[in-house]
A and B are shown apart, each in its own frame.
Chain A
């Protein structure tokens, strides 16, 4: 049920992010979402893309260290309280969120997507389903 996030190691110095986006642009990779966690010396780029396999291959060939991480893509109504409702469900199921980031969903204007990295994915999926909150799969993301 989960999405595959691509996580990439980058040194925190001018131009390293550009080198990576250059590789993706050249290979026509379409990014759906991106977030960066950084320290003084290095950063971790986390992204959701249209074609996970192609992205992993071109990054490896270009010498980038990367890994694939399972994350949840949750559909959230684009209205006040949308995120609050989802977090309430996760907290109720004792699911810890390691990190999250959001993006707006393509042509659909009525909802956004939130990417969650959680510790107990199965519990999160079950709790969200019980409340009728939709979790998207890779196909849906690819077709956005």
Chain B
């Protein structure tokens, strides 16, 4: 039977959810207008006043907020509460430029941890479980978020943080951890290491994993599920909005329920900014309607996905978002073609290679080159050069049909691609543009 952390919210009627959103949106717009001069200027520039926003139908009238705004307003420009009311900051990894700092009141932290608790319960977690949090702790939201959620559920929480893989495995085995929370690439590495130690899935006590903070493919999910003998659940979030738990997967594993009592989601055309009808693929935009310290209105995530209100067998009524095809930040434009690392990962896993790969983009004589480096495995190796080259060619063909452009495949020695304990470095772009 499906269990919920907050059943009255997670299975509320659509009318109820809409009513919460209308009321909270109006209040939030007034809150930022009154307290954040930066927002007020942006709204005035667009000719919108708080009175114009009466319900979610008016959301499109508000200006967008982008990462550039966050950087411009750094550090206090978007703060909507006096510092004396704030109790915490978290910060983005800064992989795409200057770090962004987000502020939390105790109320904000409570709501964020509730969202993470919903994700843990959706993954089957109860107060009988032992939950190992192998996301980094610190400025990164992964560790603190899941740690707080795990406490709320009442799991015995093992705050290992990331790194020291042997110690991770020791705790999983010695304390019979049943739930693992980390990035999917780190889960794959832990699984690979356990397999090399001779541990079979039935010897591993884990039953579920909650993996997020980076794009990963369905094939990688299958791979992790097989190696660890678990069910692997996706979780999504952004530091700018709170952290992990903005949306999470249920037992159906067909998309992530967005916590709509806290966040309003829209899909827009990334080029025109126009709101697209349900079912369209486009850029995900969020409005946080319950946050006090660092509320964002119409924040452009640069994640490309699809929303669906189709009824979910789990009983949750909140809208589902598809696994993002990749952040527009992660998207590579190679010879004019859009390429997401997750597409390359799909091809590799479909051909029996592990998700240990690196994508090297360069520009030679004004032409972009794409080199996919893949680690050779015992299963893929044979003494027959022609056979190895044939398998290499199969990958080249697979990539060509997936991406629509020619890529080079380089087979490299095992373990030569550096393993990640946090977000994996998949792309090295050497183009000097």
Expressed in whole angstroms, the Cα–Cα distance for A130 and B384 within the complex equals 28
Residues 1 to 58 of chain A near chain B (Cβ within 8 Å): 5, 7, 9-11, 16, 37, 39, 41-42, 44, 46
Interface residues on A, range: 20 to 34
B389: nearest residue on chain A (CB-CB)? A39
* Shortest beta-carbon distance from A56 to chain B in Å: 11
Contact yes or no, A63 B411, CB < 8 A: no
* Shortest beta-carbon distance from A16 to chain B in Å: 7
Interface string of A43-78 (1 = CB under 8 A from B): 010100000000000000001111101000000000
Contact yes or no, B383 A69, CB < 8 A: yes
Please tell me if B322 contacts chain A, counting CB pairs below 8 Å.
no
Contact yes or no, B383 A5, CB < 8 A: yes
Contact yes or no, B385 A44, CB < 8 A: yes
Please tell me if A110 contacts chain B, counting CB pairs below 8 Å.
no
Q: Chain A contacts of B200 at CB under 8 A? A: none
Q: Chain B contacts of A65 at CB under 8 A? A: 376-378, 381, 413-414
Contact yes or no, B411 A42, CB < 8 A: yes
Interface string of A106-130 (1 = CB under 8 A from B): 0000000000010000000000000
* Shortest beta-carbon distance from B265 to chain A in Å: 45
Please tell me if B410 contacts chain A, counting CB pairs below 8 Å.
yes
Contact yes or no, B413 A11, CB < 8 A: yes
Expressed in whole angstroms, the Cα–Cα distance for A44 and B391 within the complex equals 15
Interface centre among B410, B411, B413 (most CB of A within 10 A): B413
Expressed in whole angstroms, the Cα–Cα distance for A29 and B411 within the complex equals 27
Please tell me if B365 contacts chain A, counting CB pairs below 8 Å.
no
Q: Chain B contacts of A139 at CB under 8 A? A: none
Interface of B (DSSP majority class): loop
- Known A-B contacts A9-B376, A65-B377, A67-B378; A46 and B383 likewise in contact (beta carbons under 8 Å): yes
Please tell me if B416 contacts chain A, counting CB pairs below 8 Å.
yes
Interface string of B350-384 (1 = CB under 8 A from A): 00000000000000000000000000111001111
Q: Which of B377, B389, B416 contacts A11 (CB 8 A)?
A: B416
Expressed in whole angstroms, the Cα–Cα distance for A44 and B380 within the complex equals 13
Contact yes or no, A16 B413, CB < 8 A: yes
Expressed in whole angstroms, the Cα–Cα distance for A46 and B410 within the complex equals 21
Expressed in whole angstroms, the Cα–Cα distance for A5 and B414 within the complex equals 21
Please tell me if B19 contacts chain A, counting CB pairs below 8 Å.
no
Please tell me if A98 contacts chain B, counting CB pairs below 8 Å.
yes
- Known A-B contacts A9-B413, A11-B416; A67 and B389 likewise in contact (beta carbons under 8 Å): no
A41: nearest residue on chain B (CB-CB)? B410
Contact yes or no, B414 A63, CB < 8 A: yes
* Shortest beta-carbon distance from A67 to chain B in Å: 6
Please tell me if B167 contacts chain A, counting CB pairs below 8 Å.
no
* Shortest beta-carbon distance from B198 to chain A in Å: 13
Contact yes or no, B413 A66, CB < 8 A: no
Interface string of B143-169 (1 = CB under 8 A from A): 000000000000000000000000000
A-B contact pairs, 18 of them (CB 8 A): A11-B411, A11-B413, A16-B413, A39-B385, A41-B410, A41-B411, A42-B412, A44-B383, A44-B385, A44-B388, A63-B415, A64-B413, A64-B414, A65-B381, A65-B413, A65-B414, A67-B382, A69-B382
* 13 further A-B pairs in the complex, CB-CB below 8 A; given A16-B413, A39-B385, A42-B388: A9-B411, A11-B411, A37-B385, A41-B411, A44-B383, A44-B385, A46-B383, A63-B413, A64-B414, A65-B414, A66-B381, A67-B378, A67-B382
